[in-house]
Amino acid sequence: MIRFLSLSFFLFFSFVNSSSCKNFIGNPHKTPLPERTVPATNSGLRVEPANWWAGMKHNRVEVLFQRDDLASYEVTLGKTDGVKLIKAEKGDSPNYLFVTLEISPKAQAQKVPVIFSKGTNTFTHEYPVLSRNRAVKGQGVTSRDVIYLIFPDRFANGDPSNDNVPGMLQGLQRDELVGRHGGDLKGIRDHLDYIRDLGFTAIWLNPELENDQADASYHGYAVTDHYRVDRRFGTNEQFRELVAECHRRGIKVIRDVVLNHIGDNHYWMKDLPAQDWVNQWPEFTRTNYRAPALLDPYASEYDKKHFSDGWFDKRMPDLNQRNPHVANYLIQQAIWWIEWAGLDDLRIDTYPYSDQAFCTRWVTALLEEYPNLGIFGEAWEHAVPVVGYFADDQPMKRANFDSNLPGVIDFQLCFAVREALTREQGWTEGAAKIYYTLAQDYFYKDPYKNQIMLDNHDMTRIFSHVGEDLDKFKAGMAFLLTMRGIPQIYYATEILGTGFEAPSHGNIRKDFPGGWPDDPLNKFTAEGRTAAENEAFNFTRALIRYRNATPALQTGKLMQFVPENGVYVYFRYDEAKTVMVVLNFSNDNKTLETSRFAERMAGFAKAKNVATGEILNDISKVVVGKNGTVVLEMMQ
C-alpha 35 chain-centroid distance: 27
Instruction: Read off φ and ψ for residue 585, nearest 5 degrees.
Output: -90, 10
DSSP state of 178: T
Residue 333: name the closest of 350, 321, 318, 317 by CA: 321
- How far, in Å, CA of 133 to CA of 130, rounded? 9
Q: Write out the DSSP string of 353-386.
A: GS-HHHHHHHHHHHHHH-TT---EE----SSHHH
- How far, in Å, CA of 154 to CA of 434, rounded? 32
Q: Write out the DSSP string of 562-578.
A: EEETTEEEEEEE-SS-E
The answer to whether 378 is a known catalytic residue is: yes
Residues facing residue 87 across a β-bridge:
100
The answer to whether 349 is a known catalytic residue is: yes
Instruction: Read off φ and ψ for residue 234, nearest 5 degrees.
Output: 145, -155
Q: Write out the DSSP string of 234-263.
A: --HHHHHHHHHHHHHTT-EEEEEEE-SB--
C-beta atoms surrounding 558 within 10 Å: 19
Choose, from 62, 225, 309, 378, the residue flagged as catalytic: 378
Residues contacting residue 114 through CB under 8 Å, at least 6 positions apart: 63, 65, 75, 77, 78, 99, 124, 125, 126, 127
Choose, from 309, 349, 458, 511, the residue flagged as catalytic: 349
Instruction: Give the CA-trace dihedral at 470, 476, 482, 486, to 10 degrees.
Output: -120
Residues facing residue 204 across a β-bridge:
149, 254
Helical H segments across 216-350, by residue range:
236-248, 267-270, 301-309, 324-341
* Catalytic positions: 349, 378
